[in-house]
Structure 1
Amino acid sequence: MEQLGTSPKVLHALAQDIKQYGRALGFSQIGITGVDLRSAEAPLLAWLAAGHHGNMDYMQRHGLKRARPAELLPGTLRVITARMDYLPRAAPENWREGEWRRLAQPEAATVSVYARGRDYHKVLRRRLQQLADHIAAQVDPGVVRVFTDSAPVLEVELAARAGLGWRGKHTLLLQRDSGSMFFLGEIFVGLPLPVDAPTSAHCGTCRKCIDICPTQAIIKPGELDARRCISYLTIEHGGPIPLELRPLIGNRIYGCDDCQLICPWNRHARRSPLPDFDVRQGLDQALLLDLWRWNKAEFEQHTEGSAIRRIGFERWRRNLAVALGNGLRQTRDAAWRAAVIQALGEALVQASPLLQEHLRWALTQAESNPAE
């Protein structure tokens, strides 16, 4: 095994080998960048100072470590960023149109596309670790550590600097040939590998993602107020959902894809070759009332191996209650409304205070749309 101090020729060959092996593991693209993110520090501090991180306290707690990889893991010289497409293998050609139709159906439950298959943390971490082990088997990497949303890492910033794409106006990474329907993961290493050149941005004057956001959470190009984001509200936020935002959530019960669905670049979104991201539990066709009928044990069973499980049963029911309330306000289907009102009313008795409040709100929505 070669030690640190490896020649530039060997490091160049190793970088190419890392990219080739990464593709064999199912990654769509691998890029390498340095650790100097000083230009990202001021925007990060301003975003935190404005409170746009909501109650994600870990972002404030870690502060500038997010922009300083060498402080997060001393000895880090390079960051290897891997991109993995997640659109299900069976997604139809017109998958975006299908998603828009679903959002317009009050009785349907909409789960973000990325969360319909296996928990991506597990898929990425296992394969990133295989890639890290592959590197360590050839050369002493000094330090090496895998990250998949497991530490304060500015992953979009790192990926953009590594040439994997550019930061879109919705804050997600965009790639000309793949859109934004992919996951990112990182490997920190203590090797002076050759770095890749960043790519230029290609959003132009387009602002479709900003205009389509149901809650107007994208306050300006490249800046998101998480406190208004439906993904944040349905996943990260554990308390009551603000009253003024509940009607805007529609039938979205876990995450929101609107800014990605409207993005012209996602006409190029690629299907994953991995079965891990195939739809589980029929979540692309699920109905709100069917999901509401799950008890806690069934929730645990049906979300085993899924990212959804992390929000817990109470938050899951809170989200469903809001979606059902929106359905009561939007549809005049008498039989469906009666079933929803009965189901929500029966749940009131044993519900927690948090859930009770959302149930009562949901039931009041029927009053603004009396059945004919």
Structure 2
Amino acid sequence: MRGWASALGFSQIGVAPVDLSSAEPGFAAWLAQGFHGEMGYMAAHGMKRARPAELVPGTLSVLTARMDYLPRGTPPDWQARELARLQRPGEAIVSVYARGRDYHKVLRARLQKLAERIADEVGPLGFRVFTDSAPVLEAELAARSGQGWRGKHTLVLDRGGGSMFFLGEIYLDIALPASAPVGAHCGSCSACIAACPTGAIVAPHRLDARRCISYLTIEHPGAIPAPLRPLLANRIYGCDDCQLACPWNKFARTATLADFDVREGLVGSTLVQLFGWSEDEFLRRTEGSPIRRIGHERWLRNIAVALGNALRASGDGERPALRGALQARAGHPSALVREHVAWALDQGEGGAPD
């Protein structure tokens, strides 16, 4: 199976058992504390997320797979280069994983092919494939199948591949021998916790999504809380800071597929350029991209915040263009956009962060 998986672009596969009962108390406590924010789907299915055989009756084992996503040609010093973008407040930062094709589409299609290849070999087979698309404890299954260990930022880490990879699963109605899990290798390191701009990693292995920039710019539908807006800096879609700070990511591997190559406009563009996209242009440029799911309104909301932060951080020479871009959207039909534009313009008038 490893050869088939490799041919499809997966870097590793493993097999997890279906008994995840020991993970249920931690998941229940996370929900009880409200750390999932407005991601109602996290609670909607109860404990099915931790019970594969309830989600897909007949499931006897779970094949896990991971796929590296650093764009081909990424240089060895990519972490430093990405962090340097934060020193250029007028530049828009899109999370590395979202710069290419939507991973849901890529992984789902290739997991389906892998499952069909297995069925060709073993005979009639019941299966379902998932990738961040159903009530599945993906990181837990990955860790239990030897893909790596859970880092203090809650992501899966591998000694030979860091954390820059996507996860996917195939629920199978055949019992395969489980892979051996690996030990944790974070030790006393807390670089990810220290690096989080908003303090969202409230304790090792405990993330309050309500403070996470990835949640705020992607999952959160309403106004971004004013006290957190300055902390977004120029990040307009997602955040990689905990991964950029992680020493293990010096071993992160580049993708083998062209799907994750960078799309034009998503690296090195200015906030002013991206804020100028009409809805039609946004839809055209993000077709087949994970960014499209947030819609044009949230796209403008996020960039407005970043423009306000840039106004506060930039010199007199850059401010007119930033202010002009915001003023052009001051009368936008969306109250959500107007609110964030007004806040951003206030930053240029010497307004202190709320």
TM-score category, normalised to shorter length: over 0.9
Q: Which amino acid aligns with 1:305?
A: G
Aligned AA for 2:69?
A: Y
1:203 alignment counterpart: 186
Q: In structure 2, what is the Cα distance between the partners aligned to 1:347 and 1:164?
A: 46
1:357 to 324, 339, 345: 339
2:104 alignment partner in structure 1: 121
Aligned CA-pair RMSD: 1.1
Residue 10 (structure 2) aligns with? 27
Query: Percent of aligned positions with the same letter in both sequences?
Result: 62
Give 1:196-345 correspondences, 5 Å limit: 196-334=179-317, 336-345=318-327
1:139 deviates by 2.1
Q: How far apart, in 2, do the equivalents of 1:229 and 1:215 lie?
A: 7
**Which residue of structure 2 lines up, in the alignment, with residue 159 of structure 1?**
142
Q: 1:109-188 maps to which residues of 2 (within 5 A)? A: 109-140=92-123, 142-188=125-171
Return the alpha-carbon distance in structure 2 between the equivalents of residues 47 and 349 of structure 1.
40
Structure 2 distance, partners of 1:181, 1:220, is 22
Larger radius of gyration: 1
**In structure 2, C-alpha distance between the alignment counterparts of 1:327 and 1:228, rounded to whole Å:** 21
Contact kept? 2:76, 2:250, Cα under 8 Å: no
**2:325, 2:257 → 1: CA distance?**
38
SS of residue matched to 1:138:
helix
- Please give the alpha-carbon distance, in whole angstroms, between the structure 2 residues aligned to 1:141 and 1:321: 53
Matches of 1:217 and 1:141, distance apart in 2? 46
Query: Which of 27, 52, 55 is the equivalent residue of 1:44?
Result: 27
Residues matched between the structures, number: 352
Are 1:82 and 2:100 counterparts? Answer: no
> CA separation in 2, counterparts of 1:256 and 1:93?
20
Structure-1-length-normalised TM-score: 0.93
**TM-score w.r.t. structure 2 length?**
0.98
Distance 1:39 1:308 in 2: 35
Partner Cα separation in structure 2 for residue 143 and residue 306 of structure 1: 30
Q: Structure 2 unaligned runs (5+)?
A: none
1:351 to partner: Cα distance: 3.2
2:75 equivalent in structure 1: 92
1:122 offset after TM fit, Å?
0.7
Once residues 140 and 66 of structure 1 are traced to their aligned partners in structure 2, the CA distance between those partners, rounded to angstroms, is 28
Q: Offset at 1:333? A: 3.5
The amino acid of 1:352's aligned partner reads S
Q: Which among 36, 54, 65 is matched to residue 71 of structure 1?
A: 54
SS at match of 1:367: coil
Q: Deviations over 1:48-74 (max 9, x none)?
A: 000000000011111201000000000
Find 1:366's aligned residue among 343, 348, 353: 348
CA distance in 1, matches of 2:193, 2:147: 22
How far residue 140 of structure 1 moved from its aligned partner, in angstroms, is: 3.8
The 1-side partners of 2:291 and 2:146 are apart by 31
Q: How far off its partner does 1:47 sit?
A: 0.3
Q: C-alpha offsets along residues 145-182 of structure 1, whole Å, 9 cap, x if unaligned?
A: 00011101000000000001000000000000000000
Give the Cα separation in 2 of the matches to 1:339 and 1:90: 33
Q: Counterpart of 2:188 in structure 1: which amino acid?
A: T
4+ long deviations beyond 3 Å: none
- Does the alignment pair 1:53 with 2:36? yes
SS in 2 for 1:106: coil
Unaligned stretches of 5+ in structure 1? 1-17
Secondary structure (helix, strand or coil) at the match of 1:135 reads helix
Q: Name the SS for the 2:184 alignment partner.
A: coil
Please give the alpha-carbon distance, in whole angstroms, between the structure 2 residues aligned to 1:204 and 1:43: 21
Per the TM alignment, residue 369 of structure 1 is displaced from its structure 2 partner at its CA by: 7.6
